[in-house]
Amino acid sequence: MEAVEDIVIVGAGIAGLTTALGLHRLGIGSLVLESFDGLRTTGFAFTTWTNAWRALDAVGIGESLRLRHIQLFGVQAISTISGMSTAERQLDATGKQRDHEIRCMQRRVLLETLANELPSGTIRYSSKVVSIEESSHLKLVHLADGSILKAKVLIGCDGVNSAVAKWLGFRKPAFVGRSAIRGCVYYDHGHSFEPKFFQFFGEGVRFGFMPCDDKTIDWFFTFSSSSKNEEMEDSPDKMKQFVLGKLGIIPDNVRAVIEKTELDNFILSPLRFRPPWEILRGNISKNNVCVAGDAFHPMTPDLGQGGCSALEDGIVLARCLGEALRDNQSMKSEEEYKRIEMGLQRYAKERRWRAFKLISTAYMVGYIQQSNGKALTFLRDRVLASFLAGNLLKMASFDCGKLSAS
């Protein structure tokens, strides 16, 4: 007979582990199934904005992560066509609300910190979910090794190719005609960059970098492409030459960030998103199943909010489930099922517009930032640069609240 698990979370990424930790903080156990044989840390590092730090504080790991990632005190935009700075914003993180707190988070450090806070046995590695079946009030979760689990609640945090999102009726996320090359570079004796988020705009390309700590710099380069650039996928050398060839007018020490990056540290990702109208119409939850993170709202990286909003999802979902399952020991299975369904509906309602806004704004910002028409480039560099920087901060000021509603 298959074991019955109360809550099964598919995917031990940012969304899955935050949800599991949020539930754990509320005294609720869960089982996280991860297809990989360990924590998957592809992507090196990512920008964590104020909204993400609020979520990390809500699960009690913000302070320990702050100690390992330096704070960034500004966002600067520079044109690689003119070589001139087009916009600059100073960020103050000393206020009462910790307004505009930005750091560059190493994925490995975040995932390990989340995982280490969970009771042992919570994460089951090498456990790929291949299909889902209904069995009365339970879901049967079929794994690649042929085993089956029964779940009272099934949460899909299985990323952009989510099997759970497919079960809920979502289509495969669409390629947006742009790709990203990312990398990370380590300076043995420390780098000399200011603690800022530097962004460079050129013709149809965008390049950005920021320090994670005194020795590590994380960078990205996004570009328009009609194909997914499969020919570059297995050739970091080609990626490096491609990026270096497109950088335009930039200072030598900035070019050196790419030159110094080891070939093992280059990755290419075609950029995909879920069209926003699908978020408005689709099933974010359906009876006792729901999605979070990229499984729910894959977006282009132009706001740097995919991972941050996965953290928000984790807090809101844990809070809604925590309320639904409060005092459930004496509940009949029918009542428990109804409360779970309502809890997940509340989560979906709370997150739908936020996800819609993030996906749409990221797409629009990416379109303008990577424009290569003369008129739009002029507008972007002279008029819109400050508006775009403001948009990043506006989306980042969201507060997902605490784990407990009271």
**Sites of contact with ligand FAD (CB under 6 A):** 10-16, 33-36, 40, 43, 46-47, 128-129, 157-159, 163, 180, 182, 220, 269, 293-295, 301, 304-308, 310
Contact 351, 381 (CB under 8 A): no
In the complex, least distance from residue 82 CB atom to ligand FAD, rounded to whole angstroms: 26
Choice between 5 and 34, CB closer to ligand FAD: 34
Sign of the torsion angle spanned by Cα atoms 147, 148, 154, 158: positive
In the complex, least distance from residue 146 CB atom to ligand FAD, rounded to whole angstroms: 14
Choice between 304 and 339, CB closer to ligand FAD: 304
β-bridge mates for residue 240, sequence order? none
CA neighbours closer than 13 Å in the CB half-sphere of residue 179: 17
Choice between 301 and 322, CB closer to ligand FAD: 301
Residue recorded with tokens 């380069």: 221
* Gap between the Cα atoms of 183 and 264, Å rounded: 9
Give Cα separations from 141 to 4, 117, 129, 171, 290 (angstroms).
Answer: 10, 26, 7, 20, 14
In the complex, least distance from residue 356 CB atom to ligand FAD, rounded to whole angstroms: 16
Q: Return the structure tokens found at 141.
A: 């979760």
In the complex, least distance from residue 32 CB atom to ligand FAD, rounded to whole angstroms: 9
* Gap between the Cα atoms of 288 and 200, Å rounded: 45
In the complex, least distance from residue 179 CB atom to ligand FAD, rounded to whole angstroms: 8
Q: Return the structure tokens found at 317.
A: 């979902």
DSSP codes joined into one string, 295-308: GT----GGGS-HHH
In the complex, least distance from residue 188 CB atom to ligand FAD, rounded to whole angstroms: 25
* Gap between the Cα atoms of 333 and 34, Å rounded: 28
Choice between 17 and 385, CB closer to ligand FAD: 17
Contact 193, 104 (CB under 8 A): no
Choice between 157 and 217, CB closer to ligand FAD: 157
Choice between 156 and 322, CB closer to ligand FAD: 156
